Amino acid sequence: MEEVLKVVGLKKCYEEVKAVDGISFSIYRGEIFSLLGPNGAGKTTTMEILEGLRRPDAGEIYYFGERVQKIDMRIKERIGMQLQDSRFFDYLTVKENLEFFAGLYSRKNDVTRLLDILGLQDKSKTLVKHLSGGQLKRLAIAVALVNDPEVVFLDEPTTGLDPQARRTLWNIIVKLKEMGKTIFLTTHYMEEAEQLADRVFIIDHGRIIASGTVNELVNSLGMESVVEFDLDGTMPVEEYFKDSRKFEDGRYEITTHDPEKTLSIVYELARKHGVKIRNLVIRRPNLEDVFLHLTGRSLRD
């Protein structure tokens, strides 16, 4: 597989804070690569360095097989960026904004086609200031595609959207992959990474703490199941299960190799302490569990 982007030992500090602390990874042509981590983990900083918006303190960046000291115009012509919370010209229409940005590149995509792909055709003559949050996110992706880029950076593209708008965007991202685009996606939604990513790198405090496909990451836990339940009283769950956790809403979660044995112990405990078990669920572990296992914290924390 062709390596379109390679990062080695990337570092970036803001005064005393190590935002990115020596991370390394490679991205291959045609894949969706996801950087998953909680807010403040260093995802956006990493992406902004790769987009040329910030300068790294250390590290090497290779684009299309060549080492680059600076993300110059030549590279920017070949990559597209959807930035987190980026703004456009509020008093230009959707189409005018797309044409404006297309005019800044020598490589150009067909604006009408982009409007079709992003489902913005009926909004093409609407001023940007009148767009909804979801429409703005779609416009941001359309702008990222105006130069028909080889690599598309999507920085938390669905943050702040309702579930329906989020799913619409997921479909668009899948469509982009089908068009042969290489996609670098940052997100703090594990469902998003699970749904879309071919490979996931989990980042925390500026460091990559795990990487692989979703299956590889989940299997790395060595656990088959997760048992979740609520209690109407108290009992010492954590004393009996090392891989257990109590959430703020009172819900318990136990990661286990043997769900049957775990369940029987939980029932026995409940009987002994006179509490009732409610909303019991047994499910397969996910990326949230992987993150929890590795950091002791939730992605949402």
Partner 1 sequence: MKIIRLGQGFFLSTFREFGSSFWILIFPLILYMIMCSIFGHFDEGNMGIRLGVVYEDKLGGPGKIIEMVLSEISGKNGPFEKTEYATREEGLEALKKDTIDVLFVVPKKTSIHMLRAMLGGGKGGLPPASLLIFYVEGRTASRIGANIIENIMDSINLEATRRRGGFYRSFNVAMEPIRKKEAMDFDFRYYFFPGVMLTAIISTSVFSFPIGFLEMRKNGLTRRLLATPITPLQFFWGYVFGMFMMVGLSIIGLYALAYFVYGVKQHIWEFKFIAMILYSIFTLFSLGLMLSAFARKQGTTVAISNIANYILMFLGGLYFPVFQVPFTLKIIVYSLPSTYLVEGFRKFFGYDIAGLSWVSIFGVPAIWATVSLVIFSLRFKKVMGYE
Binding window for partner 1 (CB under 8 A); candidates: 97-105, 185-193, 266-274, 276-284:
97-105
Of 15, 77, 20, whose CA–CA distance to 46 is shortest? 20
Q: Does 160 participate in binding partner 1 (rule CB under 8 A)?
A: no
Distances 103 to 79, 96, 97 between C-alpha atoms, Å: 15, 10, 10
Q: Does 64 participate in binding partner 1 (rule CB under 8 A)?
A: no
Question: Toward partner 1, which CB reaches closer, 73 or 280?
Answer: 73
Binding window for partner 1 (CB under 8 A); candidates: 23-31, 70-78, 109-117, 255-263:
70-78
d(CA 34, CA 37): 10
Per rule CB under 8 A, count of chain residues that contact partner 1: 27
DSSP count for the chain of H helices, then E strands: 11, 14
Question: Toward partner 1, which CB reaches closer, 143 or 254?
Answer: 143
Do 208 and 59 touch, CB atoms closer than 8 A? no
Do 107 and 77 touch, CB atoms closer than 8 A? yes
Instruction: Determine which residue in the list 64, 105, 170, 240 makes contact with partner 1, applying CB under 8 A.
Output: 105
Instruction: Determine which residue in the list 25, 33, 63, 88 makes contact with partner 1, applying CB under 8 A.
Output: 88
Q: Which residues touch 69 (CB under 8 Å, ≥6 apart)?
A: none
Find the shortest distance in angstroms from Cβ 169 to partner 1.
18
SS3 146: coil
Find the shortest distance in angstroms from Cβ 79 to partner 1.
9
Question: Toward partner 1, which CB reaches closer, 91 or 247?
Answer: 91
- Report 118-147 residues binding partner 1 (CB under 8 A): 127, 143
- Report 227-286 residues binding partner 1 (CB under 8 A): none
Q: How is the beta sheet containing 207-212 ordered, strand by strand?
A: 79-82, 151-155, 182-187, 32-36, 199-204, 207-212
Footprint on this chain of partner 1 (rule: CB under 8 A)? 51-55, 73, 76-77, 81, 83, 85-92, 96, 100-101, 103-106, 127, 143
